Amino acid sequence: MSTQRFVRPARAEDVEAIVDVQVAAWQEMYHALLPEPVLAEMAGAEARAAFTAQWRSAVSSPPTSRHRLLVAVDEGAVAGFAAFGPAQDPDRWPGTDAEIFAFHIAPGLTRRGHGSRLLHAVVDHLVDDGFHAVYVWTLEQANPVRSFLEQAGWAPDGARRELDPGTVVPMVRLHAAIR
């Protein structure tokens, strides 16, 4: 029995599964940091509708030809996704600096190579698009995404910010050279 695991561009029919992965990954990552009402709101109808509209737009009309949304597939089902494009931070140059806006693997499907396949595909696209460096914001505290990226050679670049979805959540920016 062969296992089919690969990465491809997201399609319109993937959007609901992308939202499912996003909500599940956020709830797992933020469960110890955010109050229960905030976690519940992330999975609520209003948030899901906003996420669905966001990802539907990313598939059907990305802001530029350098914005992409990829999915990791496991036996025909979306196991994870990555959204990326030109960097948006004011201290980065969008001509050569890229940013990963979202990078999530479904809880329960981690440690099967989906993250590695997805990250390699992201970097391949970024190199093809002429980027030289890539950045991503992640929780400052230890978490699976940060550990995965640091093990792949990414490092903090000194930039910090805070999110406040009801509780202050410190974030750090990681980077990697890709040229």
What pLDDT is attached to residue 165? 76
Q: What is the pLDDT of residue 29?
A: 85
**Residues constituting the chain:** 179
Report d(CA 157, CA 176) in Å as an integer. Answer: 9
The domains of the chain, with CATH numbers, are 5-177 (3.40.630.30)
Rounded to whole angstroms, the Cα distance separating 13 from 69 reads 13
Question: Across the chain, how many H-helices and E-strands are there?
Answer: 5, 7
Provide the whole-model pTM.
0.94
Residue pLDDT tens, the chain, 179 long: 457 999 999 999 999 999 999 999 989 888 888 888 888 888 899 999 999 999 999 999 999 999 999 999 999 999 999 999 999 999 999 999 999 999 999 999 888 899 999 999 999 999 999 999 999 999 999 888 999 999 999 999 999 999 887 788 899 999 999 98
State the pLDDT at residue 153.
Answer: 95
Q: Where are the beta strands (DSSP E) in the chain?
A: 5-9, 68-74, 77-86, 97-105, 133-139, 155-163, 169-177
Q: How far apart are CA 78 and CA 75, in angstroms?
A: 9
Q: Which residues contact 48 (CB under 8 A, 6 or more apart)?
A: 19, 23
